[in-house]
A and B are shown apart, each in its own frame.
Chain A
């Protein structure tokens, strides 16, 4: 049987579910919430896949759904978790390099929108600025300026604390 867009959407979701989970988790910071976000995203995707015009855009389309679902989840549940150092798993403190990475991850999370989404997608999900523009429905220049603003903010915070 010829596979149609539904089958390909299902295949894409199954193949990339871990990525969607990590991305969702980075917004909501809670296992059950992240699972909810992914599940809602899957439903949204399958409900709308027959209306997807450009099949090759399935990746950016799916990421857009996950990002939107995550942000919506945060708004609805006000579950944005503040960065309490005590919440971090202890083991990461044993390794200094890892610690630094973790610290940056936390700071990125704390940036809020729109900077954090750009960093998540660009640095963690390997999306090009062009792709991010499609995911966030803006233009490339906006994505660029958001990225620089976010990086500057991170760097400033880092300098202040290490100084």
Chain B
């Protein structure tokens, strides 16, 4: 607030003469206030105080407190259980032999692609607790598109039942096994399949890149944290058994015909927890990513905005603990909440074929509310 604004504020709120502090000036004591000498020790004192704080512990304490309030962001650590929901469409090939065999004869209902876990790792690596499930989209060749079973049969079967060729070359636990499972059969198909494969290959490469970067970044963050911890006088004893959780997981949200909708989730948890979602909505007949306009039509902005606005209000009405920036009574309006969707707003398609718009945590609601999802309605051509 400038001097001018302050004066105006004063004038608006008082009878001018009655409240003038000093007879012939606008003296307020501020000059004296501003000239209060800042002691040299202040900076050092503050720096010391800050470095003496145990950020990790504070974070943990806050986390526990929030857990108590049952508002904690729940992270799903289930890999194959989620896949089981989409049993007809998704095959977790790194799961047990039994699981693979059970799935072997299940038809894929005309899907032209399937999503497989190509890289799976569960375990400790130094200070890092890793849970990594990396998906890869694989295009079925036409002959076999009706089944999960692919050309080369018996390759790893134990009792004569067909199983998947893809299990070959995929190490079940080795995190370095992100090998590209090749399809000799499908590469001999027409150009259309090639184009689709190349499109899927691009997506796979992008996913791989996100995963690699996430793990590298997490490792780096933890190293930095560790270094800072000891550099500021932390001892081995204080460090104790601190570790970090690094997770990558995915979920196929919808798959039918040429449409595939899935989400890749990366998570890093230590002094603070951070989760990110990456959504893929693919049309494999046109080899492109679907936009909100594709699935909801040109009027998607209005359709979404109207629906989201209504749903936010409903949620607040249902439970006053549901906070959305800019919506609750008594909101100071200091932080901008939901205003509109844009072409960049993320979404997925759920099992009912409905479009679900998503907002990352913190974007339209406080962190404790977690990521926010709004089911909008049936998608076109889905």
Measuring CB to CB, which residues of chain A are less than 8 angstroms from any residue of chain B? 1-2, 4-6, 10, 13-14, 17-18, 21-22, 25-26, 31, 35, 38-39, 42-43, 46-47, 49-51, 53-57, 92, 97-98, 100-108, 119-120, 122-124, 126-130, 134, 144, 147-148, 151-152, 154-155, 158, 162
Can you pick out 28 interface pairs between chain A and chain B where the beta carbons lie within 8 Å of each other? A6-B55, A13-B46, A13-B50, A14-B46, A21-B42, A22-B38, A31-B39, A43-B49, A43-B53, A51-B66, A53-B366, A56-B334, A57-B334, A97-B25, A100-B27, A101-B30, A104-B21, A104-B28, A108-B28, A124-B28, A126-B1, A128-B1, A148-B13, A148-B19, A155-B19, A155-B21, A158-B21, A162-B23
Shortest beta-carbon distance, B89 to chain A, in Å? 33
Closest Cβ neighbor of A120 among chain B residues: B33
B339 to chain A, nearest CB (A): 15
Complex CA–CA separation, A104 to B368 (angstroms): 46
Contact A10 B32 (CB under 8 A): no
Cβ B50 vs Cβ A10 within 8 A = yes
The B1-52 residues at the A interface (CB cut-off 8 A) are 1, 6, 9, 13-14, 18-23, 25, 27-34, 36, 38-39, 41-43, 45-47, 49-50
A2 to B368, CA, bound (A): 17
Contacts of A6 in B (CB 8 A): 55, 58-59, 271-272
Residues of B within 8 A of A2 (CB): 274
Can you add 20 more A-B contacts, CB < 8 Å, to A17-B43, A51-B66, A123-B6? A6-B58, A6-B59, A14-B47, A21-B39, A22-B36, A35-B39, A35-B41, A39-B46, A47-B53, A53-B368, A101-B29, A101-B32, A102-B29, A102-B32, A103-B29, A104-B28, A123-B29, A124-B30, A130-B332, A158-B23
A61 to B63, CA, bound (A): 20
B23, closest chain A residue (CB): A162
State which of B22, B274, B323 has its C-beta within 8 Å of the C-beta of A100.
Answer: B22
6 shortest interchain CB distances as A-B pairs: A105-B29, A50-B62, A105-B32, A104-B29, A56-B335, A56-B334
| Pair B42/A35 contact, Cβ less than 8 Å | yes
Whether B302 is near chain A, meaning CB under 8 Å from some CB there, is no
Instruction: Please name all residues of chain B whose beta carbon is closer than 8 Å to the beta carbon of A123 when the two chains form the complex.
Output: 6, 28-30
Q: Which residues of B line the A interface, CB within 8 A?
A: 1, 6, 9, 13-14, 18-23, 25, 27-34, 36, 38-39, 41-43, 45-47, 49-50, 53, 55, 58-59, 61-63, 65-66, 217, 221, 224, 271-272, 274, 323, 325, 332, 334-335, 362, 366-368
A100 x B25 contact (CB < 8 A): yes
- Which of A54, A103, A122, A152 is the one whose CB lies under 8 Å from B332? A54
User: Within the complex, what minimum Cβ distance (angstroms) separates A162 from chain B?
Assistant: 7
Q: In the assembled complex, how far is the CB of residue B147 from the closest CB belonging to chain A, in whole angstroms?
A: 44
Q: Which residues on the B side are within 8 Å of A154 (C-beta)?
A: 21
CB closest residue in chain B, given A88: B32
Residues of A within 8 A of B21 (CB): 104, 151, 154-155, 158
B42 CB contact (under 8 Å) in A38, A104, A148: A38
Q: Are B49 and A152 in contact (CB under 8 A)?
A: no
- The docked-state distance in angstroms from the alpha carbon of A53 to that of B321 is 12
Give Cα A107–Cα B32 distance, bound, in whole angstroms: 12
What is the bound-complex CA distance between A6 and B272, given in angstroms?
Answer: 9
List, in ascending order, chain A residues with CB within 8 A of B6's CB.
Answer: 122-123, 126
